Amino acid sequence: MSDQTTITPSIIIDGVRKRFTLNHAYSLKDTVVSWIKRRKLTSEFEALKGIDLVIGEGQSVAVLGLNGSGKSTLLKLISGVMEPDDGEVLTRGRVAGLIEVGAGFHPELSGRENVFLNAAILGMKKHEIEARYDEIVAFSEIEEFIDQEVKHYSSGMFMRLAFSVAIHVELDVLLVDEILSVGDAPFREKCRLKFEELIAHRKTLLIVSHDLDMVRELCNRGVVLSRGEVVYDGPIEGAVSLVES
């Protein structure tokens, strides 16, 4: 683990474990057959196995690894969407998470109504949302659809609006989980520039992405997970090289 003794921590992950129960019976027939043959109907999967990390204030960190390595689970624990089974997750300041496209959006409400709902969930006051509303919508580039119910939005439109709300919050920590992959190239570039602006303002970024070129540009530190364990924590080039090998 990198030496984090001289920095102010934004995120502390101490001995974190997370387990899930996997169901192996998907129908009544499966249940009966498993019972007759004395097979287990469920099994336990340990997604994270005692993770210890400290993310310093102002750091931009990429979390890398193969699918199923525990990256998204880790971000959900940091965001508070889930709780660890063991260990502790501590965060400092306001945390905004872009973890699942459309998370926190109500499908029956319009884009306009969801801006206010989602921003409120992220901790903004009504007057703050009203002051930034035009800027949020302009950044999302979906002005003509803003009064439509979001159940009619494409995944790309969801992502644009969710990202725009999150980055206009007075945040201290931003968590991003691969959702930019659903955007087109010009919007991804626009987001990259916004990330650079946040980094320049000493905001803490934790990014899960398979876009190694992007994380090389944005991040100075990389954490590589494999089967729920940290196998590398250090300079970003070392992390990228490990993933590429």
- SS3 assignment for 27-55: CHHHHHHHHHCCCCCEEEEEEEEEEEEEE
CA distance 4 to 49: 21
- How, if at all, do strands 9-23 and 86-91 pair? antiparallel
Does a structural domain hold residue 2?
no
Q: Tell me the residue type at 190.
A: K
Total domains in the chain come to 1
Tell me, yes or no, if the pTM score tops 0.85.
no
2 band by pLDDT with thresholds 50, 70 and 90: very low
pLDDT at 25: 52
Does a structural domain hold residue 116?
yes
Task: Answer yes or no: are the C-beta atoms of 136 and 123 closer than 8 Å.
Answer: no
Does a structural domain hold residue 163?
yes
Q: Give the CATH number for residue 51.
A: 3.40.50.300
**25-54 average pLDDT score:** 74
**9-14 average pLDDT score:** 96
Task: Answer yes or no: are the C-beta atoms of 221 and 234 closer than 8 Å.
Answer: yes
Backbone torsion region of residue 38, taken as left when φ is above 0, otherwise alpha when ψ lies between -120 and 50, otherwise beta = left
pLDDT at 146: 97
Express each pLDDT in 42-92 by its tens digit.
Answer: 678 899 999 999 999 999 999 999 888 999 999 999 998 899 999 999 999
Q: Is the pLDDT of residue 32 over 90?
A: no
pLDDT at 31: 61
pLDDT at 103: 65
182 band by pLDDT with thresholds 50, 70 and 90: low
Structure token pair of residue 46? 């340990």
97 band by pLDDT with thresholds 50, 70 and 90: confident
Does a structural domain hold residue 1?
no
Does a structural domain hold residue 229?
yes
Q: Is 46 exposed, middle or buried (0-12, 13-18, 19+ CB in 10 A)?
A: middle
When the pLDDT of each residue in the chain is averaged and rounded to a whole number, the result is 87
Q: How far apart are the first and last CA of the chain?
A: 21
Q: Is the pLDDT of residue 132 over 90?
A: yes
* Interacting residues of 54 by C-beta distance below 8 A, sequence separation 6+: 1, 4, 7, 9, 11, 12, 13
4 band by pLDDT with thresholds 50, 70 and 90: very low
pLDDT at 98: 79
Does a structural domain hold residue 4?
no
Does a structural domain hold residue 38?
no
Does a structural domain hold residue 86?
yes
Structure token pair of residue 57? 């204030």
Q: Is the pLDDT of residue 189 over 50?
A: yes
Q: Is the pLDDT of residue 41 over 80?
A: no
**221-233 average pLDDT score:** 96
User: Can you give the residue range of the structural domain that contains 150?
Assistant: 9-32+43-244
Q: Which one is predicted more confidently, 93 or 7?
A: 93
**208-213 average pLDDT score:** 88
- The beta strands (E) that lie in 57-184 are given as 60-64, 86-91, 95-98, 173-177
